Each structure stands twice: as C-alpha cells, then as structure tokens.
A and B are shown apart, each in its own frame.
Chain A
Amino acid sequence: MPTYKLTYFNFAGAAEKARLAFKLGGIEFEDERIEFSAWPELKPKTPYGQMPLLSIDGKAPVAQSGAILRYIGRIADLYPSDADKALEVDEVIGLDEDLMRSMGPSFTIARAPQALGHAADLPEEDRKALQVKLRAALAADEIPRFLGYFEAKLAKTGTGYFVGTKPTIADCVVLATLRALKSGWLDGIPTTLADSKPLLSAFYERMMAIPALKEYYAAK
C-alpha cells in the first residue's frame, strides 16, 4: 500500500472532502495541517501556490482538491468507473463547487476588496457592511437553492445516498458542505439552513453514524 500525505491548513475547508474519503475508504494517510503563519514560506515551494496537496509515496505533490478527491475515490472504491454513474457523481460534485464558489466573494470582500473591483483601502466597517449584505443574500437565495438541488437528488436516487446504493465521493462532498454550514464558519449565515430539508437531514445523520466518520469527528 503506498503512503499518502495530505497537506492543508488546520481547518476543514477544501481538504475536508478528501479527508472524509480517506476515512470512509479505510485508507491510512498523514493528515498534515499547516499553520497560517507557516504558509507564506511554504507557498512558493508548492507547484501552484495552493493547497490541498497530495503526496503519494513521498513523490512530488499534486494539487487540486477535486483531483485529489477523485484519486482517493478510485483507490477506495468510492468513485464508480461506469460512465453513467460517474456522471451522476461528477454532477453533484460540480454543483457543490458552484455553491462553495458563490460564497467566495463574501470572503474576498473583507480580505482583498480590490480583487472584486472595490477600493483597496476600503474602510473596515464598509467591508464588513458589504460582507453582511453578501452573506444575507447567500442565506436567502444561493444556499437554499443549492440545498434544494441536493434534496431533490436524494429524492431521485431514493437510497439515502447521492448516487447508487452506497456512499461515493459525492456524499463526502455534500457532508463536508453540510458540516461547514452547520458549524457557523460563515458569519451571517444561519447554521440551520439545511434543517428544513428532511432527506438532507437524514443523510447527515446517516453519514455521521458511519463508524469511521463518527470516530473521525469524535477525535476532534
């Protein structure tokens, strides 16, 4: 069995779905977490200035959370090789990416408003006010819309999982997102947004009850 090292910051973020896939697949890996203070020195040494990174058998690290997730899916039997089933999985993963991406501007507005076409020296209170506005719109529109898509997909599949009769990397992706929403990580986004979706709520409980995942979160 090769050795795996997954490198990311010390929070859930873009790496969590990969961590979940490793755990669900019962595959050992080194869960390397980098402090923010260590990142500026590490960043130029990475291939594309980004994390997460996956290193297989100590080889040159590979980037891109979606690539890493699919790799783990292939070795852990969590990513169907059948083209039609994989298409279903990839559609769910892509929708989740769209949802997470829609939240991006609400972070960037505070950190680097000029990247979105605002003044670089926009006062802190103005940044905060804009962030609040963006988060309110996300909570009212985008997030419920995408949660509705996920709810509808669960209804369509009818097995309690997103694709087929057992967990896939699509389930890892949505679980990670649900946990992020419930954690209060997004200031201004109520943690209860998924509660009104019965199938998603049952999905959450089902996934969290899987021994490997229950153990992973209990250890935190």
Chain B
Amino acid sequence: TMQRILPKFKLTYFNFPGRGEKVRIAFKMAGIEFEDERIEFSQWPEMKAKSPFAQVPLLTIDGMPPVAQSAAILRYVGRLGNLYPSDPEKALQVDEIVGLEEDFFQARSLPFFIGRNPRAYGHPADIPNQDIQAIQANLRSTLVAEDIPRFLGYFEAKLAQSERPAFIVGDTPTVADCALLASLRAVKTGTSPGVPPTLVDAHPRLAAYYARVMELPVIRAYYA
C-alpha cells in the first residue's frame, strides 16, 4: 500500500476540552500525528491579537498561516483520516449529528459564555460575581431538567434506528462520533458545574455507546 505522506499538524487550543476536543479525538481516531498545543488563558490576549479571526482552535499545516473553525478542522482531519464519507447521503447523516452536537455544545455552554461576556447577553459589564453565579446556577438547573436530556434523547433515538448500532452513523467511526464523544465526555466527567455526570445513564443505548467508544484502543490510550 502507498503510504500517504502527511504534513506536520499543530492544533492550538486552550488547555481544556471545549471546542478543541472533538478535533483531538479525530486526530487520534484517524491515527494522524499532531502537536497538541495547549495555551493558558494568560497567553490568549497576545495570541488573539495575532490570530486571523480572534479565535481558537487553530490548525497550522506545515507552518503555514493557521486555519480556524473547529468544525472545519474536524472535517479536514476526517477527510484525511477516512472518518468522513464522501457519499452525499452518508455524509448528510454524519453532518446532521455534527450540527446537532454543535447545538448541544452551545446550549450547555451558555452559562459559561454569559459569565465570560455578560454584556453580550444584555447584562452590565460590571455585574457582580455573585449575580452572575446566581444566573448560571439558575440556567444550569434548566439545562439539567430540560435541554441536556432533550439532546441526549436525540442521540439515543439516532442509535435506536439501528438494531445493533456500532457507531452513531453506520458501521465505522466518523467525525460524528468524534463530536459526540467530546460532548458525552464533557457531561460524564462533570466539566459543566452543576451538571450531574449521571445524566447520560438515563439513556441506555447512549451509555453503552459511550462505554464502547471509550474502549477503542486509541481512545482508551488517549484518555489513560
């Protein structure tokens, strides 16, 4: 077989899962080496000023000017790593899940975003910390009661479409699994304060799926 010679990849993101994790997972699933550059928040203002769109994650390919947008980078790694079908209808199913996961990420991250930039949500820029925390606690209890179960239910229903689901779409891993795993892990490992890790367990197929994917050798090694 012909060995594809790949460029050197560097993924730059903060030192937490967030939007970067699905890309890290994709690199691992694809078996593609990459430099996992993690920056501290203190480094961010200086980097932000030099970055093309004032955002991370960024993918640097062979030292070229970096590319932004986590979903773009995810799809790129997917294409290189055989994790993204080229058949239009199969890709449509994968893209639907990738989009849903983005909606899920947005919904469960909203309290965090409000805390980071209250003004963008109509709050005073100098809103006292305890007021923000009260707002976040309130929003999180709604997330736990409504939004998170709703999204988990969507993924559960997707798995239920197959009698013996291997992956979220089809029989082989795709970028949809990378995105979904990142989100499930965020809930399971309690990265969202006030969101119980047990929420996934109420969805049996999803809980089994999570266990299965976490047992894949590359994934188990990554999170070891």
**Does A157 have its Cβ within 8 Å of any Cβ on chain B?**
no
Q: Bin chain B's interface residue count.
A: 35 or more
Interface check B72, CB cutoff 8 A: yes
Docked-complex contact B121 and A117, CB < 8 angstroms: yes
What CA separation (Å) do A54 and B96 show in the bound complex?
Answer: 11
Smallest CB gap from A59: residue in B: B89
A105 pairs with B89, CB closer than 8 A: no
Q: Are B122 and A134 in contact (CB under 8 A)?
A: yes
CB of B166 closer than 8 Å to a CB of A: no
Q: How many inter-chain contacts with C-beta < 8 Å in the A-B complex? A: 108
Question: Smallest Cβ distance from B121 to chain A, in angstroms?
Answer: 4
A117→B76 contact, CB < 8 A: no
Q: What is the distance, in angstroms, from B18's C-beta to the closest C-beta of chain A?
A: 15
* In the complex, residue of chain B having the shortest beta-carbon distance to the beta carbon of A134: B122
A93 to B106, CA, bound (A): 17
Contact pick for A71, options B69, B89, B119, CB 8 Å:
B89
A37 to B74, CA, bound (A): 38
- Known contacts: A64-B100, A117-B123, A118-B122. The answer to whether A91 contacts B68 by CB under 8 A is yes
**Which B residues, 101 to 143, have Cβ-Cβ distances below 8 Å to chain A?**
106, 110-111, 114, 119-123, 135-136, 138-139
Of residues 46 to 71 in A, which have CB atoms within 8 Å of B's CB atoms?
A: 47-48, 54, 56, 62-68, 70-71
CB distance A102 to B120 under 8 Å? yes
Give the dominant DSSP class at A's interface.
helix
**Contact status of A117 and B138, CB under 8 A, knowing A48-B154, A86-B76, A91-B67:** yes
How many residues in A have their beta carbons less than 8 Å from beta carbons of B? 42
Please name the residue on chain A nearest to B132 by beta carbon: A117
A149 interface contact, C-beta 8 A:
yes
* Residues in chain B near residue A71, CB distance under 8 A: 88-89, 91-92, 95
Q: When the two chains form their complex, are residues B106 and A113 in contact, meaning their CB atoms are under 8 A apart?
A: no
Q: What's the minimum C-beta distance from A60 to chain B, rounded to whole angstroms?
A: 9
A116 and B122 contact, Cβ closer than 8 Å, known pairs A86-B79, A90-B72, A95-B69: yes
Q: Say whether B98 faces chain A, with CB atoms less than 8 Å apart.
A: yes
Contact A48-B72, Cβ < 8 Å, known A70-B91, A83-B80: no
User: Which chain B residues lie closer than 8 Å to A64 at the CB level?
Assistant: 95-96, 98-100
Q: Bits for A122-165, please: 1 = Cβ < 8 Å to B, else 0.
A: 00000000100110010000000100010000000000000000
Q: List the B side residues contacting A93 at CB < 8 Å.
A: 69, 72
Contacts of B154 in A (CB 8 A): 47-48
Q: Give the Cβ gap from B161 to chain A, nearest Cβ, in Å.
A: 9
Instruction: Write out the residue numbers on chain A whose beta carbons fall within 8 Å of the beta carbon of B54.
Output: 145
Kindly identify which residue among A54, A68, A83, A102 contacts B76, using a CB–CB cutoff of 8 Å: A83
A67-B95, A117-B114 known; A74-B88 Cβ under 8 A: yes
Chain B hits for A67, CB < 8 A: 92, 94-96, 98-99
With known contacts A67-B98, A70-B91, A117–B68 Cβ distance under 8 A: no
* B22 in the interface (beta carbon within 8 A): no
> Do residues B119 and A90 form an inter-chain contact, with CB atoms below 8 A?
no
**Sample (8) of A-B pairs whose CB atoms are under 8 Å apart:** A67-B99, A71-B92, A74-B88, A83-B79, A94-B68, A102-B120, A116-B121, A130-B122
Q: Beyond A87-B76, A117-B138: 19 further Cβ-contacts under 8 Å?
A: A47-B154, A48-B100, A62-B96, A67-B92, A67-B98, A86-B75, A86-B79, A87-B73, A94-B69, A94-B72, A95-B53, A98-B55, A115-B110, A116-B122, A117-B139, A118-B122, A118-B123, A137-B119, A145-B54
**What are the 6 tightest A-B residue pairs by CB atom distance, in nearest-first order?**
A94-B69, A67-B95, A90-B72, A64-B99, A117-B135, A74-B88
